[in-house]
Chains A and B, each alone.
Chain A
């Protein structure tokens, strides 16, 4: 078992953060490994929030940088 940061998204589901790269945060639903999404980390007034991506291109870019070198 691994301890991961958890966050509740707008759909009421608690997701776990499995990776962060640049400002992108990669989340999975612990109850369904096929349910994952990508958000951007933004800081507002010193607090961190997760914001949805702006476009499909940004989503594709976030996917393209997801892999680590050993994967």
Chain B
């Protein structure tokens, strides 16, 4: 949020704004977000459309108290919600010739917008998903959009995310507390004899001296690509990670990366679009993580980010109603 002198157009330093909020000084001819060069007209109203499907409330809000709230809670989603829902900003102009603007109108984001977006996003029936029924992308087809509407849309989406407690859900998923026995359901889909043998267990072998074990990574990849539906790939790959020991040591990450690399070599864009899009040209876990956005705040590959995605993928696949059987973990000997 930036403030300007409405007469000169010069930006007012942040420290002066803060002092004004604190009541230490008084500022006149303040404009918000616009440079009004040489005139004292009120600040331009942002182009905020009305939300018609929720009741509207008109609320009195002194200007500086409102902006103080925004400044004090710059990262607070609630502040953003307020920003996005105000149709006009109250501007206290001391010029007696300037008419006072009407108070802001306020709408409430939340339930209505969340479910509206949800219904528009999910498939309600298992319809034909052949290309003829899907919208086709053309990355060269573009149109110009006003930045205001983009900002409003972004704010609205973030508001809905906070309202619905999505971040709390994601955090809970990250903690793994909601992980049910769905990894077993993936195994039963794979197993020909319904003996619940997992992909990893099936392709874990003892060394010749019986002192250690090794993974047949290529065989695991073949099972992932050729023996499971493509829609199960994300969930199945994550169960492989779990069954390999979900260890964050380099050794296990390297092994897991070799499975990913093998998947990338086997998957075809026509037969396995999901697996192909995930793993093509990935030679290790790090490349896989970067390709699919499993990164931390520094943009570095993150196992935690991948685990959050994997848990959700397994839970989502479980919703298809695959039977669950008792899990027996792989018997891994020492090295």
Contacts and interface: CB of A to CB of B under 8 A. Distances in A.
B270 A45 contact: yes
Nearest to A49: B134
Interface bracket on B: 35 or more
Q: Which 6 A-B pairs have the closest CB atoms?
A: A64-B170, A37-B120, A49-B134, A52-B123, A48-B137, A33-B152
Interface of B: 49, 51, 53, 113, 116-118, 120-123, 129, 131, 134-139, 141-147, 149-150, 152-154, 156-158, 160-161, 164, 166-167, 169-170, 173, 231, 269-270, 273-274, 276-278, 292-294, 297, 308-309, 312, 315-316, 319
A11 B164 CA distance: 26
Contacts, number: 177
Given A6-B141, A7-B137, A38 B121 contact: yes
A33 B117 contact: no
B121 A39 contact: yes
Contacts of A23: 274, 277-278, 292
Given A66-B157, A67-B161, A7 B116 contact: no
Contacts of A22: 292-294, 309
A41 B137 contact: yes
| Interface SS of B by simple majority | helix
Interface of A: 1-10, 14, 16, 18, 21-23, 26, 28, 30, 32-39, 41-67, 69, 71
Given A2-B145, A57-B319, A43 B122 contact: no
A25 to B, nearest CB: 8
B316 A50 contact: no
Given A63-B164, A64-B170, A1 B144 contact: yes
A18 B135 contact: no
23 contacts: A1-B146, A2-B150, A5-B137, A5-B142, A16-B145, A30-B143, A33-B49, A33-B152, A33-B156, A36-B156, A38-B121, A39-B121, A39-B135, A41-B137, A44-B131, A49-B136, A49-B137, A52-B121, A52-B123, A53-B121, A56-B118, A71-B154, A71-B158
Given A1-B147, A57-B316, A34 B122 contact: no
B123 A53 contact: yes
Contacts of B144: 1-4
Contacts of B160: 63
A59 B4 CA distance: 41
Contacts of A1: 144-147
Contacts of B169: 60, 64
Nearest to B142: A3
Nearest to A62: B121
Nearest to B274: A42
A64 B145 contact: no
Given A3-B143, A32-B49, A49-B136, A63 B157 contact: yes
| Interface hub of A6, A37, A41, A52 (most chain B Cβ within 10 A) | A52
B143 A4 contact: yes
B153 A18 contact: yes
Contacts of A14: 143
Nearest to A46: B269
A39 B316 CA distance: 15
B122 to A, nearest CB: 5
A66 to B, nearest CB: 6
A47 B154 contact: no
Contacts of B129: 51
Nearest to A16: B145
A10 B134 CA distance: 8
